[in-house]
Structure 1
């Protein structure tokens, strides 16, 4: 059952995207996460649908950001553990690279990118608040590949273990809704303001209805697909049975001809594979 608009918190996808559309809030979150300053935001968009090619799986990014240095940041809120985060991050990385590398440009034009998943669960299982990944040499772990691709998984469950006070407070707010810092206090007020905004309420209602329709459509399409597959399977089985029946009839006809020319039952069994009982009935 989908939440009502008034029940939404920062951990809900819709509200998270709305809050992170605010440049100052988004920039503060990124700097807390990366423990570093980022350039001025030059591009910020939410709910980006990306299709990498005809027939390819499309994705929808929660928040896509570029700063003035060209670095890109994909920020995703993940409330439910679907046990596919590493492969999903890999696909997102590829999709973003294709999105930002224009045809004819050299690979060196690809700037640094960060895929960031803010999770309400510990997908890695080491009870750390932050897991940062880069490609390194297995033989000598001092050597970085320097491909510019970085992936970060945030575990809001471990908010108390975050060394940075503001990050700890933010993760606690995401996990529990408790306001303990100036930053989370600002976010709470933003959410209160949004909940009194009829346009935002209508947008959520529209999206909810659209997703329900899409789910219903998907289920209907699934049923149709299932029927198609069932028919295909039935045809396959029917053809297999037809071939089997035809082959059996051929064996019977062959056995009859061999009987007519006086061949012994033992030899007919060897020639056709039929049983003695089947041959004696002819």
Structure 2
């Protein structure tokens, strides 16, 4: 240990600690996983009364493993988490110092400075292991808007967490428009699952606010239809007969199409648009509309 640290420790206070510090390591060659534990953990106090800890590890590996230092960081973090769990009344963490007893016949040929393992060591010294905390709930919408391209996603996360999706649909729909189709569809479905509106009413309102999202809403509708097809397949498979499978598929497909068309009708889409989205005939859609009106 460094002499400075040695001089600061009250060695009469050193005790063996019963910490549960475990890490699962995957061996590279055989791709097996094995559990490793810190061999010994000691808790002590510095002369100023503050706590510290020493973790002692014994490395018996046959290969010249460059991950030792990184795994030691993991041990240290695991120890701190375990310390907090066992000492919930304490808010402060002990200073940790790790000792590695290396017993490999091969000399350790890697750097002892963890930052040397990064592709950009100087940048790593400045930013690695640091975390930026973004408290969306306490940020104003104006502050979030300054975050550029990611601001739309942040707004969605904020109002989903606040359970205030429906009251902010106009802003959220406009934010969603700025993304590519895959993200737009994902965010629409995500918002829908946290809206208090019925699914039809939710998409109807989105369509009214942001007509450009019409294509995305129709894609979601096609996914509804596919869900109906899969339901039919499952029913057919459960019957265990080929006839049952075919019947289930056909019934499920038709059921899915009719369900989709019904939803799109309730959203106010034209018969031509619904025909394009579902493959149903004009007569099918007209009959469905008449049925819904009754």
What TM-score do the two structures reach when normalised by structure 1?
0.29
TM-score calculated relative to the size of structure 2: 0.28
Higher relative contact order (CA 8 A, sep 6+): 1
